[in-house]
Chains A and B, each alone.
Chain A
Amino acid sequence: MRILLLALRRLAASLPTLLLILVGLFLLLQLAPGDTVDALVAQMGGGDPAMIEQLRSFYGLDAPVLVQLGRYLLRLVTLDLGFSAIYGKPVADVILERLPVTLLLMATALSFAFAAGMGLGVVAARRVNRWPDSLISTLGLVFYATPSFWFGMMGIVVFAVRLSWLPAGGFEEIGSGNEGLTRVLDIAWHLVLPVATLALTYLATYLRIMRASMLEVMTLDFVRTARAKGLGETAVVLRHVLRNALLPGVTLMGLQAGTMLGGSVVVESVFALPGLGRLAYESVVQRDVNTLLGIVFVSALLVIAINFIVDMLYAKLDPRIVTGS
């Protein structure tokens, strides 16, 4: 209960941040050459000035910037993200259609990266400066240095083209009429490569931080106390080191939520997944300002939500947070 209250307080504290983001972005987009109407007109292959003027006033683009900003923020309160001229439907609908794919991709990749990274980090730290450590650390460095989109493409070449084990892209078999468990398995099969691709960099990061933090905690006084109690090395690690060493990784998970969402833009492009990232890319190319702003808004909400969960997790792990000290 106190943990929840604490996390809620942190959540409230992120509201001004959100406002700052929206105002900043809205003003930034005002600087953009060309607006939705320009994009629309270009798509239609030109139009007469009177019609352009009419369109502008229809979309409210003729009002002063501050009024437009005010209207935009007001609409956001009611979760009305505006209308996408390109897709011809409300931005909220467009985003909602694409959101599940990205959520699934991110959640799976994050869990996998966290679990595998932590596990490998522990193994490396327990065998520090011996071959398992060297192997894992080198692998971590290489993973970290690999551009994720390239890793994805090479994955396609090897596993889809050469070996035909996995599909080269897409979210599921289109028109196969799969339902229930078959559909779940089909989607899972399609997501193997994208998840691996997205998780790669983060796996490397968690691995490094877990290894470093394990080694750091091993030098602390209470570990000496645990040994003085007569505990074996495994018991020392399991009961005293692990939980303490987990904390920096958990913090990092919250900090990196945003980066991961950014990474999904590229991964979704490589694997032609109909997700939020792909949508962001398309709206940049098509200059669909409303949609882009909507995506940024939703991503910010998503990051804040992830941080909310991470805060609760952290408070659960560390009693010092709750009682404040």
Chain B
Amino acid sequence: MGFLKRYARNPAAVIGLLLVLAVIAMAVSASWIFPRDPLSLAGRPLQWPLDNPRFWLGTDNTGRDIAAQIFHGARTSLLIGLVATVVAIGIGIVIGAVAGYYGGWVDDLLMRITEAFQTLPNFLLLLVLVAVFGSNITFVTVAIGIVSWPPSARLTRAEFLTLRNREFVQACRVLGMRDRQIIFREILPNALPPIIVYASVIMAVAILLESALAFLNLSDPNIPSWGNLIGAGKGVLRVHWYVSAIPGLVILLTVLGVSLVGQGLNDALNPRLKGR
């Protein structure tokens, strides 16, 4: 298909894909390269990177191996990003599709709820959810999904609003097709490309949200996480800035990779709009 070729011809998209693949490789190889618990004491605290060949990224202020935490943290970030995105897109598609297809009071009600979620600062809502249900990793992930769905619902709704009045949808109704089939089998496949592209945005934001939560010590403390490590480095920032700098850089590259892949997908799906 021309799709893959178009994607491969875009250097930024290829770089993004390589970055994402690198993070995946880190996540997969983590327990193989660093079989020990990354949160356990590994050596003398605050060794600078490259000082000790055993800890090529150094140790943090409690003597944990930074490289091990980075590798295991990749797992956390990817998993949280993926699951939260699936949750957010899932809720968003169902709410947006129903609101956009049926219109009227159903639309009014669902959009009021969406608006309510958007009026609430999402990070604040995340804090409230974590305060209520605790910092268990499963819950944090779901909570990130719950605060991230409104834009995808709006996007789906907008797509459905334009598509539902397209003549091919009317043709399906004229043939006597059922609503459920029209929504999910006829309209949704046409509405999906922009939503898939948007998923990369949600994933990027989800990774950033988790790292911010972990930075504030409100994420699961028993899971190695890049954000946690940045938070841990805060106390020694003035001298041992590398403790915070390294995981932050990794987050940056990961989110950059995800965004570039999303943009590459967008350009490959809409070749006409390339460069926008």
Contact = CB atoms under 8 A, between A and B. Distances in A.
Given A265-B127, A296-B128, A141 B216 contact: no
A21 B119 contact: yes
Contacts of A269: 215-216
B238 interface: yes
Contact of B121 (A151, A161, A258): A258
Interface string B240-258: 0100110010011111100
A281 interface: yes
A145 B252 contact: yes
Interface residues of B, number: 49
Contacts, number: 156
B241 A157 contact: yes
Contacts of A270: 234
Contacts of A20: 112-113, 116
Contact of A149 (B116, B120, B215): B215
Interface of chain B, main secondary structure: helix
Most buried by A among B113, B131, B248: B131
A86 to B, nearest CB: 13
Interface stretch (B21-29, B42-50, B86-94, B204-212): B204-212
Contacts of A258: 118-122
Interface in A140-163: 141-142, 144-151, 153-154, 156-157, 161
Contacts of B216: 265-266, 269, 281
Given A153-B248, A269-B216, A299-B124, A292 B131 contact: yes
Interface in B205-235: 208, 211-212, 215-216, 218, 227, 230, 233-234
27 contacts: A18-B116, A20-B112, A21-B119, A21-B120, A24-B116, A29-B128, A31-B132, A129-B275, A145-B256, A147-B212, A147-B252, A149-B215, A150-B248, A153-B230, A153-B237, A154-B241, A154-B245, A156-B237, A161-B238, A212-B276, A258-B118, A258-B122, A261-B121, A266-B215, A280-B127, A296-B125, A303-B120
Closest 8 CB pairs of A and B: A262-B123, A150-B248, A262-B121, A145-B255, A145-B256, A261-B121, A32-B132, A258-B121
Interface of A: 14, 16-18, 20-21, 24-25, 28-29, 31-33, 128-129, 141-142, 144-151, 153-154, 156-157, 161, 211-212, 215-216, 255, 258-263, 265-266, 269-270, 280-281, 284-285, 287, 292, 295-296, 299-300, 303-304
Interface of B: 112-113, 115-116, 118-134, 151, 204, 208, 211-212, 215-216, 218, 227, 230, 233-234, 237-238, 241, 244-245, 248, 251-256, 259-260, 275-276
